[in-house]
Amino acid sequence: MTATPAPAESTADLDLLRRFEPVIRFNRGELFYPTSVADFVASSALFSVVGKETELIAERGTLDLQTLAAAGREHAGAMLYLQQVDAPLDRKQYRQWKRREDRERFRFSSRFAAVGLVGRFVDAIMRLTLLLRGNVPGGYAAAAHLAYRATPRSDECFYYGHVSRDAGYVVLQYWYFYSMNDWRSTFGGVNDHESDWEQVTVFLTEDLEPSWVAFSSHDEVGDDLRRRWDDPDIEFVDGTHPVVYAGAGSHSGAYLPGEYLITAPLPIPEWLDGIRRGIIRLLPWRGQAGQGTVGIPYIDYKRGDGLSVGVDQDRPWQAVVVDDDTDWVRDFRGLWGLDTRDFLGGERAPAGMRYERDGTVRASWGQPVAWAGLDREAPSEAWAMRGLEAASGELQVQLRDLTDRLSDAREELRAARTAERAQGRSPQRPTPELTELSDTVARLRAEQVQLVNRIEAAELGIESATLPTEDVHAHLSHRAVPMAAADTVRGRLLRIWSAASASVLLAAFGILLLAGHSGLLWPVLWISFAMLVIESILRQRFLQLLVVSVIVAVTVILALAVWEIFTGNPRIGFGILLLVIAFYLVLQTAREAIRTR
């Protein structure tokens, strides 16, 4: 029989979880809310993937959490997946579902007004790839909604709480299960997949005081995921319950309500992405992480104007405590929904709260402190000062040991140099052995300087007795904030242009073809560039376009120079190359002149 936590331990964990459980605010029009995994499993069938075929392991209505765990143990190593929906709705059923009396209308924003012309073409291309990839079929989300509403406790909201202790932190994790992620089909997002797991993690000090909180958000990790408990971006209910604004259909969490412009990265080769990142680092406006990302642009709606779940909200939480010994958490490594076999992964169902799709333990479950980038952050000021004192003592020991090794190495070096001097060897032509000894002494000297600097820094902190207060956002490389509303004349023009520009561009190309225009290359390039100029002016990015254009032009000229050099006309090639170098020197001179003003 699987071991379970002692009642006293389970009760203590539940009390902690209840004290800090989050409040989740959804969008008006949301179809799926955190539900019972037991209800989902009871209304699902279990399949195994065998090559390109699927094999039924358990029929719908025969499963519960215990039999699911047993199936996981029996079929260990196999690719298993649950499926609640038999088939998507047909057109007639779908129309009836859309006309349901309790349907809430959702108000869309124009995501194309927030993204560039290139991004809109990328979006169209990626949506065409759904025809080639494994994807959730149309009408599936509607069928999933009917199946979800038919479960016995669909009006109740559940979280699965996991309490762990690591590196001085008490970690409270709140895992939420949704029977469908209908992001693409209902809210114009990137993907659909049956079932969805999201979580909120609260980090407590050893004295059970809250210090950090992290919301799961589109596979982000590390510093940008978490916020300090006193961050003014976080809203609280009753002082201890952080408010999470859930994405419409995606269910990802945000600290501030609003609409977020997100770019889902394209699967491009690493070498090409490295070139892209290198160019972005050279640009003065690179700013936020993610700017310049090549991918699918979309809006993640996190308005918080719909149903709210949690303390003193529309629905209370039903809490279930789980841990590594909970059999269905530990033993079922399969997917919690339809396996579409999408090679990009976006349309496949996720694995459970403990596992990745490949069966390895999630970092957020197994190592939440490292997952949130907290290995370098002491849980409390008292912990930090104790660590500083301990580190100072250890560094002193290391310095004494290093000083002894440096002394020995230096004397060995001097003896070797004396021996070579006795042989009449010039100091300008040392032997390899002497060179190696010199390098060793230089390395030990550098280590000594580093240790001394670290000791001085530690002693300064100990003497001050208090640490300086950092800005609450100091650890963030990118602070996610919602988009600002564009209600100006420029904003209205941008929305009109965004809606019409792609059509205008395609129509212009079509007219050129119908007119029988010879030499289409230059007209196409000029029309495309003119449209980019118009869009950059409306977005107040004309200077950026100008700089990028110069970079592209210089790159093309360099390519032409190399081509001329290697195809038999080195005079022209080297001439072009010299012009490029001259232009570069002019830019460098101008930059230096600006710096020295």
Kindly write down the DSSP assignment for every residue of 379-408, as one continuous string.
SSHHHHHHHHHHHHHHHHHHHHHHHHHHHH
All residues at 6 or more sequence positions from 212 whose CB lies less than 8 Å from its CB, including other chains = 202, 203, 226, 227, 228, 229, 372, 374, 377
Give the helix ranges, DSSP H, for 423-474: 432-464
482-486 long-range Cβ contacts below 8 angstroms, 24+ apart? 482/254, 482/256, 482/257, 482/258, 482/259, 482/260, 482/302, 483/114, 483/258, 483/259, 483/260, 483/261, 483/299, 486/113
- Give dist(CA 288, CA 284) in Å, integer: 11
E strand residue ranges, 85-240: 157-166, 169-181, 193-204, 210-215, 226-228, 236-237
- Give dist(CA 308, CA 241) in Å, integer: 13
CB atoms under 10 Å from CB of 582, counted, come to 10
- Give dist(CA 510, CA 512) in Å, integer: 5
All residues at 6 or more sequence positions from 375 whose CB lies less than 8 Å from its CB, including other chains = 167, 369
Closest CA to 107 of 254, 301, 245: 301
Residue 315: half-sphere exposure toward Cβ, Cα within 13 Å = 20
- List, as one string, the DSSP characters of 256-294: S-EEEEEEEEP---HHHHHHHHHHHHHSTT--STTTT--
Q: In 57-75, which positions are buried (b, 16+ CB within 10 angstroms) versus exposed (e)?
A: bbeeeebebebbbbbbeeb
DSSP-assigned beta bridge partners for residue 236:
242
CA of residue 390 relative to chain centroid, distance: 35
Q: In the chain, what are the domain boundaries?
A: 7-131+140-149+157-371, 381-464, 489-595
E strand residue ranges, 130-239: 157-166, 169-181, 193-204, 210-215, 226-228, 236-237
Closest CA to 455 of 391, 385, 402, 407: 391
- Give dist(CA 353, CA 362) in Å, integer: 8
Closest CA to 119 of 265, 253, 306, 3: 265
CB–CB of 318/156 below 8 Å? yes
All residues at 6 or more sequence positions from 547 whose CB lies less than 8 Å from its CB, including other chains = 283, 284
Helices 117-128 and 489-514 meet at what angle, rounded to 10?
Answer: 60
Q: For residue 340, what is the DSSP state?
A: -
Q: For each of the chain's 597 residues, which pLDDT tens digit applies?
A: 344 444 556 789 999 999 999 999 999 999 999 999 999 999 999 999 988 889 999 999 999 999 999 999 999 989 999 999 988 998 899 889 988 888 888 887 755 555 555 555 556 555 555 555 455 666 889 999 999 999 999 999 999 999 999 999 999 999 999 999 998 889 888 788 999 999 999 999 989 999 999 998 865 667 888 999 999 999 999 999 999 999 999 999 999 999 887 766 555 555 555 665 565 555 544 443 344 444 556 788 999 999 999 999 999 999 999 999 999 999 999 999 998 887 665 688 999 999 999 999 999 999 999 999 999 999 988 888 888 889 999 999 999 999 999 999 999 999 999 999 999 888 888 999 999 999 999 999 999 999 999 999 888 888 887 778 889 999 988 888 887 765 445 555 655 565 566 667 667 777 777 776 666 667 777 777 777 777 677 666 677 767 777 777 777 777 877 777 777 777 777 787 788 788 777 777 766 665 555
The residue behind tokens 């118009």 is 534
- Give dist(CA 144, CA 250) in Å, integer: 15
